[in-house]
A and B are shown apart, each in its own frame.
Chain A
Amino acid sequence: MTTAEATARGEAQAVRACWSCRGPVPARERFCPTCGLVQEPVAGDHFARLDLEPRFDIDATDVERRYFALQRQFHPDRFAARSAKEKALSLRHATALNEAYKVLKDPLGRAEHLLSLAGRPVRADGAETVSDPELLMEAMELRERLSEAAAAAAVDALLAETRANSAALERKLGHAFAAGDFAAAQKLALRLRYAAKLIDEARERRRRFDR
Chain B
Amino acid sequence: MSMQILEIHEPGETPLPHEAERELAVGIDLGTTNSLVAIARDTRPEVLRLMHGEALLPSVVAYLDGRQPVVGHEARALIGEHPDRVVRSVKRLMGRGYGDVKALAGTLPFTVEPGEAERMVRLRVGGRVVTPVEVSADILRALKNRAELALDRPVTQAVITVPAYFDDAARTATKDAARLAGLQVLRLVNEPTAAALAYGLDKGAEGTYAVYDLGGGTFDVSILRLEKGVFQVLATGGDAALGGDDFDHLIAERLAAERGGPQLAPGDAKRLLEAARGVKEQLSQASQAEIELDLARAKTRHKLARAEFEAMIAPLVDRTIAAAKAVLHDADLASAEIKGVVLVGGSTRVPLVRRRVAEVFGREPLGDIDPDEVVALGAALQAEALTHGSDTLLLDVIPLSLGIETMGGLIEKVVPRNSPIPTAQAQEFTTYQDGQTAMAIHVVQGERELAEQNRSLARFTLTGIPPMAAGAARILVTYAVDADGILTVSAEERMTGVSQSVEVRPSYGLTEDEMIGMLRDSMEHGAEDMERRLLVEAQVEGRRLLLALRAALKVDADLLDATEGGSIEGLAAVLDRAIEGSDRHAIAAAQEALDQASQEFAARRMDRGIRTALSGRALDDLERRMGGAAD
Binding site for B on A (CB under 8 A): 1, 13-15, 17-26, 34-37, 68, 71-72, 75-78, 80-85, 87, 91, 94-95, 98-99, 101-102, 203, 206-207, 210-211
Contacts and interface: CB of A to CB of B under 8 A. Distances in A.
Contacts of B389: 78
Given A23-B552, A24-B606, A98-B420, A80 B612 contact: no
Given A72-B393, A77-B386, A94 B555 contact: no
Contacts of A24: 605-606, 608-610, 612-613
A165 B617 CA distance: 48
A139 to B, nearest CB: 22
B558 interface: no
B393 A37 contact: no
- 10 closest residue pairs by CB, A with B: A24-B609, A84-B9, A21-B548, A22-B602, A80-B386, A35-B551, A84-B13, A76-B483, A35-B548, A20-B548
A17 B602 contact: yes
A20 B609 contact: no
Interface of B: 3, 5, 7, 9-10, 13-17, 22, 186-187, 230, 322, 325-326, 329, 332, 382, 385-387, 389-391, 393-395, 419-424, 480, 482-483, 537, 540-541, 544-545, 547-549, 551-552, 554-556, 598, 602, 605-606, 608-610, 612-613, 616-617, 620, 630
11 contacts: A21-B602, A22-B552, A22-B598, A24-B613, A34-B551, A72-B393, A80-B15, A81-B387, A83-B7, A87-B13, A101-B420
A83 B552 contact: no
A93 to B, nearest CB: 9
Contacts of B186: 80
A77 B394 contact: yes
Contacts of A15: 606, 609-610, 613
Contacts, number: 141
A91 B609 contact: no
Nearest to A84: B9
A207 B324 CA distance: 12
Contacts of A14: 613
Given A17-B602, A34-B551, A76-B483, A23 B422 contact: no
A210 B325 contact: yes
Contact of A21 (B187, B424, B551): B551
A14 B617 CA distance: 9
Nearest to B548: A21
A35 B187 contact: no
A75 to B, nearest CB: 6
Contacts of B332: 203
Nearest to B387: A81
Nearest to B13: A84
Contacts of A85: 7, 9
A180 B416 CA distance: 33
A95 B329 CA distance: 26
A1 B631 CA distance: 9
A76 B325 contact: no
Among A15, A78, A91: residue with most chain B CB under 10 A: A15
B547 A81 contact: no
Nearest to A21: B548
Among B187, B325, B547, B551: residue with most chain A CB under 10 A: B551
Given A22-B3, A24-B609, A211-B322, A75 B483 contact: yes
B3 A84 contact: no
Contact of A68 (B3, B230, B602): B230
Contacts of B617: 13
Among A21, A26, A35, A71: residue with most chain B CB under 10 A: A21
A68 B231 CA distance: 10
B606 A23 contact: yes
B480 A21 contact: no
Nearest to B17: A81
Given A34-B552, A95-B480, A210-B325, 11 more contacts: A20-B545, A24-B605, A25-B609, A26-B613, A80-B15, A81-B17, A82-B17, A91-B482, A95-B423, A95-B424, A203-B329
A81 B16 contact: yes
Nearest to B329: A207
B593 to A, nearest CB: 16
Nearest to B631: A1
Contact of B187 (A77, A203, A207): A77
Contacts of A82: 14, 17
A77 B385 contact: yes
A99 B423 contact: yes
Contacts of B613: 13-15, 24, 26
A24 to B, nearest CB: 2
Given A21-B551, A76-B482, A99-B423, A83 B386 contact: no
B468 to A, nearest CB: 18
Contact of B3 (A17, A36, A206): A17
B399 to A, nearest CB: 16
A81 B23 CA distance: 11
